[in-house]
Chains A and B, each alone.
Chain A
Amino acid sequence: MTPWHAPPDTLDRFARTPEALDDTTASSVEQHLLHCGACRTHVADAADPIELDLSWEQVADAIDRPTAGAAERLLVRVGLAPDVARVVGATPGLRLAWLATTAILAVAAAVVAQGSGSDAPFLVVAPLVPLGSVLLTFLAADDPAGEAGRAAPMHGFGLVMRRALATLVPTFVILAMASLVQPDLTRGGALWVLPSLALTVGALALATVTRITVATGALAVTWLNLVLAFSLVEGHRVPVADSPLFDSLGQASALAIVVVAGAVLHTRRDLFSALEAT
């Protein structure tokens, strides 16, 4: 029996202008090609080699394309370019482990506050959490490209700030949610914000002067000492929220630190492309 072959002009159209074939004919040709070597050869000869290469490239690209993680997909949704989202999404501080730690700390502080009726635990701990996020953003050992990334042109202020923001935004959101369950929402609910920003921007500014581990460590110790020092007023211990650290002068001081540290950060931003591995 002579084997049946698809008409040559149909094969030519299938190879060159497949959109000109109706769906039934295209499906029939596809099925037939699976079992007919002679027709496959005909199609291969008829196809435009440039178009063919392009098709293969598209197939290879679809296979090789890195899969985006949850954080990366979210960043693309909020408008970041996919390549930038990839870099920012790989930020160590965005890892689930750190975000979970942040959430646990915030929840623990909130639970203790509810139990004791005091917002002191939250007010003391909350400003330290963003410091941890800043530290993670900088740690070279956790950078997905390691030291090779530090020798890349994108390494610098812009990248560090994008990564820091990507880490800090969810950290502040988690803290803001935890602050909603503080005993005195009108007072303790927002008192942590300016000190947290002061420590965060201060750490970023200090990172242009010293190693990030030293910068964040020094600021954490300073913060705890300030809390202790200001909780004593005229020899008497006062509730943390009532200490001068959190009154209007304390908040104004924190705002001033944010502004000054921000100015330092801006002035010294070029140094971020030269920050050395820790």
Chain B
Amino acid sequence: MSTITAHGVTKRFGPKVVLSGVDIELGMGITGLLGPNGAGKTTLLRILATVLHPDGGQIALLGHDPSSAEGRLAVRRQLGYLPQEPGFHRSFTAFEFVDYVAILKEWGDRRSRHDEVRRVLSLVGLEPVMGTPIKKLSGGMRRRVAIAQALLGDPNLLILDEPTAGLDPEQRLRFRELLSALAARSTVLLSTHQTDDVAALCSRAVVLLSGTVRFDGTAPELAALATGRVWMQAERDPSAQLAWITGEGTVRHIGVPPTGAALVDPTVEDGYLTLTGATSEAMA
């Protein structure tokens, strides 16, 4: 059953068209939203988080129409949202910040609210620094504070804009564990530049390019786009679309392989790079 439905969603900022007829239908589980910078990921997430109006198209979230005040309220009561730039009140402690958001989320009873704040802060491993002012926390810790506020109340819909940015490997693993537990009962939509997060976490991947959906399928299907197009060899082949030296010292290539090339299994990253048409020249 679909929990997020968007048809023909458009958005422009001045003359710049940011979203151009986006169609997606998502259900419970984790969906990864991939795309290069400027593809429209953040704009789409902001629209789905009810903080930005689309210029056109229809959206239904958890069965509600967010274009009406009642619909927005109903969605917001079931929503957890991590913006790309959370905008902390830096003199707040981690506890005070999450507590403040909990008040905005209508947690009136102080005792149960504080229990919930402690719960979500401990979920992201911040229990020992709950009383520390946010301005004294590292970037990764601040990101975890922002994630904690999104988890308040176990929301049915979780929208996360680059949640793993700034997290160390151990925290990323812990975060994956946390999300996979949530995904059993919620719809999670996250944007990321980390294709390995998509491969490890997401039952579905959507790739946005220039404001339109260019791929919508599973992570293995995304990887399969590069089938027969990835090979390894000792020297760089200038005819390849993309080539880079791996940790083992060999060169991994994406493109049309030369005859006799040693083809390897593609990864989600290979599929994504094939789809975006990224080239070594463009990335130099």
Q: How far apart are the CA atoms of A153 and B131 in the complex, in Å?
A: 26
Q: How far apart are the CA atoms of A87 and B131 in the complex, in Å?
A: 19
B104 near A145 with CB under 8 A, answer yes
Give chain B interface residues in 14-66, CB to chain A under 8 Å: 46, 49-53
Chain B 82-108: CB-based contact to A (< 8 A → 1; otherwise 0):
110111110011011101110111111
B101 near A152 with CB under 8 A, answer yes
Binds B, one of A34-42, A168-176, A269-277: A269-277
Given contacts A64-B118, A273-B69, is CB(A146)–CB(B87) below 8 Å? Answer: yes
A87 near B69 with CB under 8 A, answer no
Chain B 104-144: CB-based contact to A (< 8 A → 1; otherwise 0):
11111011011101100000000000110000000000000
Residues of A within 8 A of B104 (CB): 87, 145, 149, 152-155, 159
Q: How far apart are the CA atoms of A149 and B98 in the complex, in Å?
A: 11
Q: A-B pairs with CB below 8 Å: how many?
A: 117
Chain A 59-87: CB-based contact to B (< 8 A → 1; otherwise 0):
01101111000000000000001110011
A63 near B89 with CB under 8 A, answer no
B146 at the interface (CB under 8 A from A): yes
Given contacts A148-B82, A153-B106, is CB(A276)–CB(B114) below 8 Å? Answer: no
A64 near B131 with CB under 8 A, answer yes
Given contacts A144-B89, A149-B101, is CB(A154)–CB(B69) below 8 Å? Answer: no
A102 shortest CB reach to chain B, Å: 21
B77 near A146 with CB under 8 A, answer no
Q: How far apart are the CA atoms of A19 and B118 in the complex, in Å?
A: 30
Instruction: Across the A-B interface, give the 8 residue pairs with the lowest CB-CB distance, nearest first.
Output: A146-B87, A144-B89, A152-B104, A270-B69, A147-B83, A151-B81, A66-B96, A153-B76
Residues of A within 8 A of B96 (CB): 66
A180 at the interface (CB under 8 A from B): no
- In this complex, how many residues of chain A approach chain B with their Cβ under 8 Å: the count is 36
B269 shortest CB reach to chain A, Å: 29
B102 shortest CB reach to chain A, Å: 9
Q: How far apart are the CA atoms of A90 and B92 in the complex, in Å?
A: 10
A44 shortest CB reach to chain B, Å: 23
Given contacts A147-B51, A151-B49, A273-B69, is CB(A61)–CB(B111) below 8 Å? Answer: yes
Residue of B nearest to A85 (CB): B103
B53 near A154 with CB under 8 A, answer no
B200 at the interface (CB under 8 A from A): no
Residues of B within 8 A of A155 (CB): 76, 104
Residue of A nearest to B161 (CB): A147
Chain A 133-152: CB-based contact to B (< 8 A → 1; otherwise 0):
00000001101111111111
A45 at the interface (CB under 8 A from B): no
A101 shortest CB reach to chain B, Å: 19
Q: List 20 additional contacts besides A66-B92, A90-B89, A154-B104; criterion CB under 8 Å.
A: A61-B111, A65-B114, A82-B110, A83-B108, A83-B113, A144-B89, A145-B101, A146-B85, A147-B85, A147-B87, A148-B87, A151-B76, A152-B104, A153-B76, A153-B106, A154-B106, A273-B73, A276-B52, A276-B53, A277-B52
Residue of B nearest to A141 (CB): B87
A83 near B114 with CB under 8 A, answer no
B103 near A153 with CB under 8 A, answer no
Residues of B within 8 A of A87 (CB): 100, 103-104
Q: How far apart are the CA atoms of A155 and B104 in the complex, in Å?
A: 7
Chain A 181-216: CB-based contact to B (< 8 A → 1; otherwise 0):
000000000000000000000000000000000000
**Which of A66, A152, A153 is within 8 Å of B99, CB to CB?**
A66
Interface centre among B73, B115, B117 (most CB of A within 10 A): B73
Residues of B within 8 A of A247 (CB): none
Q: How far apart are the CA atoms of A209 and B86 in the complex, in Å?
A: 26
Interface centre among B49, B89, B113 (most CB of A within 10 A): B89
A57 at the interface (CB under 8 A from B): yes
B106 shortest CB reach to chain A, Å: 5
Q: How far apart are the CA atoms of A168 and B186 in the complex, in Å?
A: 42
Residue of B nearest to A144 (CB): B89
A148 near B101 with CB under 8 A, answer yes
**Which of A64, A149, A274 is within 8 Å of B72, CB to CB?**
A274
A266 shortest CB reach to chain B, Å: 14
Residues of A within 8 A of B52 (CB): 276-277
B79 at the interface (CB under 8 A from A): yes
Residues of B within 8 A of A61 (CB): 110-111, 114
Q: How far apart are the CA atoms of A82 and B113 in the complex, in Å?
A: 13
Q: How far apart are the CA atoms of A66 and B111 in the complex, in Å?
A: 12
Residue of A nearest to B48 (CB): A151
Residue of A nearest to B78 (CB): A153
Residues of B within 8 A of A276 (CB): 51-53
B149 at the interface (CB under 8 A from A): yes
B150 at the interface (CB under 8 A from A): yes
Q: How far apart are the CA atoms of A146 and B87 in the complex, in Å?
A: 5
Q: How far apart are the CA atoms of A86 and B117 in the complex, in Å?
A: 16
Residues of A within 8 A of B69 (CB): 156, 270-271, 273-274
A148 shortest CB reach to chain B, Å: 6
Q: How far apart are the CA atoms of A152 and B149 in the complex, in Å?
A: 11
Residues of A within 8 A of B115 (CB): 57
A73 shortest CB reach to chain B, Å: 15
